[in-house]
Amino acid sequence: MLKKFKNLSCKKRNVVIGWVFIIPALVFITIFVIIPIFYSLFLVTQSCRGIVCEQDFTGNLAKLFADVQLRQVLINTFIFFLIQVPIMLTLALIFAVILNNPKLKFRGVFRTAIFLPAVTSLVAYSVLFKMMLAPDGIVNSALDFFGIGAVGWLTHPTWQRVTIIIALLWRWTGYNMIFYLSGLQGIDKEIFEASIIDGATKRQQFFKITIPLLKPIILFTTVMSTIGTLQLFDEPFNIIRGSGTTVTTMTLSQYVYNLSFVYTPNFGYAAMIAYVIMIFAALLTIIQFRIAKEDK
Amino acid sequence: MKKILLLLITLSLAITLVACGGDDGNQDGKITIWAWDPNFNIDIMNRAKEIYGGDVEIEIVEMAKGDLETKLHTSLSTEGDLPDIVLIEDYMAPKYLASYPGKFADLSESIDHTKFIQGKVQIGTYDGKQYSVPFDSGVSGMFIRNDLVLDVDVAAANLAGVSTFDEFVAADITWDDFIAVGQAYTSRTGDAFMAQNFADGGGFRVILNSTQTWYTDSSGEFDFVGNPGIEEAAEVYYKIYNAEVDYNGTMTEIYKAATDWGTWVDPLSTGEAATVTTGVWITGTVKSNADNSGNWTVMKTPRANISGAVNYSNLGGSSWYVIADSDVDESVDFLKAIYQENQDGFYDQILVNNGAMGSLLAAKSSTAYQANDSYFSNAKVWNDFASWAALIPAIDYGQFTYEADEAIINAMPGYLDGTKTLTQFLTEAETAARAKVQ
Amino acid sequence: MSPIKKTIFKFLKSLKRLPAYLFLSIVSFFCVFPFLWMFFGATMTSGEVSSGVIKIGSNFSENLKVLFDQSDFMQAFSNSVVAAVLTTVFALFISSLAAYGFEIFSTKVKNKIFGVLLLTMMVPFAALMIPLYKVIIFLDLSNSIASLIVPAIATVFLIFFFKQSLKKFPREIIQSARIDGANEFRIFRSIVVPAMKPAYAAAAILTFMTSWNNFLWPLITLSSNDKQTLPLKISILSSSYTPNYGVVLLAIVIATLPSILVFFALQKHFVAGLTGAVK
């Protein structure tokens, strides 16, 4: 086989080598991702109560469109997505740019501080937030002290959403900041220096140099945040559940979890809803890729 | 190229090394038990293990309750790793039995179920066969602080025939009586009479159970609207939520808002709640605060205001189940010796050490059950609980308890603050519950 | 300029950055506060924690003792370490290799395949965990640390990240290396990887953390006390009938330390641009 390889043209050889780079990953992905996906697609055609399953794809589909709880859950998930993601990514970018300035003192300290939340496990920080936001927890005590009055962080339908958004911002902004920082490191300083000679202001530098060069990383973070928020589960599940109603905060993934483990388990319908999530995520991702291409 | 191959080989070697340890789970001659809570269930099973002795190796795996339930679902539906014995909460049991037929061992022949509280046995029965070894009873009672609640509070409540604290705790009171005393207490002290988590269905279920109704009727259909038991439970909640009194010029609620287990349990030791009405298993937690010895009295559960309601109810309780195709014989021998035959006075030991009330009928006549409990000022609390346990209305929980719970809790806030009528609330909840059943 | 004028000038200049410092300090405080509360809480008794007090309590050693008396806490710690380290090492290697293949050797077919892979990333884990568990059972890997490592080795997330990071990599360098006669793997190893240090550092931190904090998957695939990982133990601790908050917070502190250490170790690669390597 090696002889055949050596006889190929340079271009063709490159193609083969390219495959060699990819194959190990593909093997793992096939076994641990593709095969499970096929099985879950099969589940989509089933309607189950536990292991008592029957073929019922059209039934599942009909259920999908008649499902009132699904609509509420979709609204919740999208509200989180539309509000939290833009705020978080903008903040992350601002932090990264500020912290990328070599003249700023204590950069390491700030960087560590802002990234620290990303380091906690989701279960741990949900427990923390739940304790801090309890009706007479430390946050409400402080609010009382300043005369603002306690807030139903965990119990009031609207404030619950605020709580989740604050938790998400706290937890994930630093995480995305790291991506932007790593991207900023790849930008050649000379470009900035040249632009200063040309008389560019900081603002112009930011919008005309930094952002365009960071575009691949920005696209990466928007896509990942989109997918992550659409799949949001841990925060509503660990912080809100059991403390207040779940009407305004139950997300798509939480619904899927409930369908599998809390209500009478219907793994088939749960799988179908999971693919609804996937379809939305795919659509949004395609849109984002298109926008990125257009700006080129 | 070579380097890649080399790496892949090393990788697979590394994996096989780390992979050694895959458990065989079932049929390995060792009894594996899955349970939650280190101080209660796990401690009790450890004690059982010691008492049993024997040659069989017994391993108890600890998990959080919710995690265990998730894991049980995934393993039962995929032929995954399963234990030999597993603890299942009674409200959850019918769902597991119906969803995974054939996965649990049929114990009808091997365990004598007539020796246990029939209500508990019913829960573990499916399709005419018995699958459970009944474990702890969640018989309910009201725990009340005798140092905080005073005669003057009872008197101010204007209850018929009851004017002192001692008369109060001896009487068969109703929820209205309870709220009246609570209001008197709060308007005098400004403190909460109880801790209440309106997002947790436990209290609701206590009331329901005492009225001999449940979320689903005998045919398994949700039955909220016009259901006297459910409407009464909702009204009690409404009254508690809205029972504000004037304390020194501020409108104060008679309950302390709780948002999870911790915030519900803490007020018991700090005195921020003067009562708690829940299952007997709270005794361990209550007693863990040694400073309050002598300050707690146990009385009957308040009664709902409809005909057929009683002062006895239940919250929680679980049973042991054996997984089919596991080390069934060894597991049954173990469970039988301990839970059915009461080896070495097992039930007395767990009563005294863990505050756990078992479901074996014969165990109730032992000395431990008849003893005076010094923490409760030498009252015979266990005897009380045991006699109440016999009077709990037997309920068929059906498969959809948690769906109903969620539907009720999510629809309730509007009703509590007056923006929805009772009928609107229950209709909405019933529709939501129906939608959750696939 | 006289020395006095110079100092005043410098001082005024640094004031310009004051808003930035203020902003960053406030943000940092919000980020760090829960940790402070956590650290303090780990030294207090359970009652003190729930009463909302903030102080350095005297219960630290007591909490430590209780924590280590609990079954297998250190075992869980070591399980988590093994899983996280091995996952990170293998994942970084295999995923960056694949990303290089997709990006530098891109062809229509490869692009299509990458598109499919991206799609797979969007399927929520909730839908895949039971089928994945079935695969693990089939491979006889259930209840093993390997089952935590192996499915995480080739994540589309990492491949995507490395691919994007490679987009701006100057192709001329690769071309000139090829002309010089170096083989592709050599180019990858000696030229590309060192230049990608910031990306590798970021990926390492994130992969380590993802594995370290992973909860749902270990719950499903592990079923004996000695195999459980830290997040599972913390879940057990915090859901007991009589939760000991001081101990819970201490456990969380210990569970958080390794991630913090890994971050400290790797974060210097975000400092002082390594763009020099490109030259």
Residues in chain B with CB shorter than 8 Å from the CB of C141 are: 19, 22
Question: b/e per residue, A151-185, with b = 16+ CB within 10 A?
Answer: bbbbbbbebbbebbbbbbbbbbbbbbbbbbbbbbb
Q: How does residue B21 score in pLDDT terms, banded at 50, 70 and 90?
A: very low
- Contact predicate A261/B70, CB 8 Å: yes
The verdict on a CB contact (< 8 Å) between C202 and A137 is no
Single pTM value for the model: 0.87
Tokens of C254: 């210990």
Contact A263 B402 (CB under 8 A): yes
Contact predicate C244/C173, CB 8 Å: no
Q: Which residues contact C17 (CB under 8 A, 6 or more apart)?
A: A103, A104
Of B19, B34, B78, the CB nearest to C130: B78
Q: Alpha-carbon distance C168 to C180, whole Å?
A: 22
**B275 CA to centre of own chain:** 18
- Rounded to whole angstroms, how far apart are CA atoms B289 and B267? 11
- C144 and B63 within 8 Å at the Cβ level: the answer is no
Q: B37: helix, coil or strand? A: coil
Chain B residues lying within 8 Å of C95, measured CB to CB:
none
Here the tokens at position B41 are 């269930």
Nearest to B95 among A67, A134, A264 (CB): A264
Q: Identify the chains in contact with A, defined as 3+ C-beta pairs within 8 A.
A: B, C
Which helix (H) or strand (E) element contains residue B87? strand B85-89
Q: Which residues 213-232 of chain C have a CB within 8 Å of chain A?
A: 213, 215, 230-231
Map tokens 């601002």 to a residue: A94
pLDDT tens for A36-93 read 999 999 989 888 888 888 888 888 888 888 888 999 999 999 999 999 999 999 999 9
Q: How far apart are the first and last CA of chain B?
A: 53
**For C141, which of B22, B63, B71 is closest by C-beta distance?**
B22
Predicted confidence pLDDT, tens digits, chain A (296 residues):
676 666 667 777 778 888 888 999 999 999 999 999 999 999 898 888 888 888 888 888 888 888 889 999 999 999 999 999 999 999 999 888 888 877 777 888 888 889 889 888 787 788 788 888 888 788 888 888 888 888 889 888 899 999 999 999 999 998 899 888 888 877 777 787 888 888 777 777 778 888 888 888 899 899 989 999 999 988 898 888 878 888 899 999 999 999 988 888 888 999 999 999 989 999 998 999 898 887 65
**Which chains does C contact via 3+ CB–CB distances below 8 A?**
A, B
CA–CA gap between residue B317 and residue C273 (Å, rounded): 62
What distance in Å separates residue C209's CA from the closest CA in chain A? 7
In sequence order, the 6+-apart residues with CB closer than 8 A to the CB of B189 are B148, B247
Helices (runs of H) and strands (runs of E) counted in chain A: 15, 2
Give pLDDT, residue B7: 59
* Contact between chains at A37 and C131 (C-beta distance less than 8 A): yes
How close C278 comes to chain A (CA, Å)?
Answer: 9
Interface of A with B (CB under 8 A): 20, 24, 47-52, 63, 67-69, 130-131, 134-135, 154-155, 157, 242-247, 258-267, 269
Asked if A264 lies within 8 A of B432 by C-beta distance, the reply is no
Report residue B35: phi and psi, to 5°: -155, 170
pLDDT in tens, A243-263: 888 889 999 999 999 998 888
pLDDT tens-digit readout, B350-406: 998 888 899 998 888 888 888 888 899 899 999 999 999 888 888 889 889 999 999
Q: Are C89 and C149 in contact (CB under 8 A)?
A: no
The answer for C 37-76 residues in CB contact with A (under 8 A) is 37-38, 49-50, 52, 54
Q: Is the distance from CB of A235 to CB of A168 less than 8 angstroms?
A: yes
Please indicate if any CB of chain A lies within 8 Å of the CB of B263: yes
ipTM surpassing 0.90: no
Distance (Å, rounded) from C-alpha C119 to C-alpha A278? 8
Contacts of residue B247, Cβ cutoff 8 Å, sequence gap at least 6: B186, B187, B188, B189, B190
| Helix pair angle (B422-436, B228-241), 10° resolution | 120
Alpha-carbon gap, residue C130 to C127, rounded angstroms: 7
Q: What is the mean pLDDT of residues C237-247?
A: 80
